[in-house]
Amino acid sequence: MGNICRSPTAEGAFRSQIEKHGVEHLFEIDSAGTHAYHVGSQPDSRSQLAANRCNVDLSDQRGRQVHESDFYHYDYIFAMDASNLADLQFICPDEHQHKLSLMLDNIPNNQGKSVPDPYFEGRFDEVFEMLNRASAFLLETLLKKV
């Protein structure tokens, strides 16, 4: 939503996965929020702490809002929950709707599930683990396509 908790965590987790596999050259990764609440801000310190515990650094990221050009530029756009997915579907051009899905849909038998927002609930470690797991499955799927 604001690009300081879940989406930068997902970006960091996926980036970590591709670095472990030595395939950074195959991917361009970015995260963005559906709202402009935290444009220019670093990820939430609690998200950074949870990621750091798993040797993932989020500190170089800065919040930004999704832009229409993202739908043309990126092959896949993942939302963290149904509300943000609906926001993305609303602004996404019809010809790019197929690029949108929920991040946790990448985990087998997890279709339709949302990543809980840790901002108020404080489940930062759990959210990192979910997103890291989804990133691992996503990478496995994408590498089969290359």
pLDDT of residue 121: 86
- Map out the domains of the chain with their CATH numbers: 6-145 (3.40.50.2300)
The string of pLDDT tens digits covering residues 70-123 is 999 999 999 999 999 999 999 999 999 999 999 999 999 999 999 999 998 899
Pairing of strands 77-79, 100-102: parallel
Q: pTM score, two decimals?
A: 0.95
User: Helix-strand-coil percent breakdown of the chain, rounded to 5?
Assistant: 55, 5, 40
Q: Are 61 and 29 in contact (CB under 8 A)?
A: no
Taking CA 133 as the corner, what is the angle to CA 130 and CA 50, rounded to the nearest 5 degrees? Answer: 50
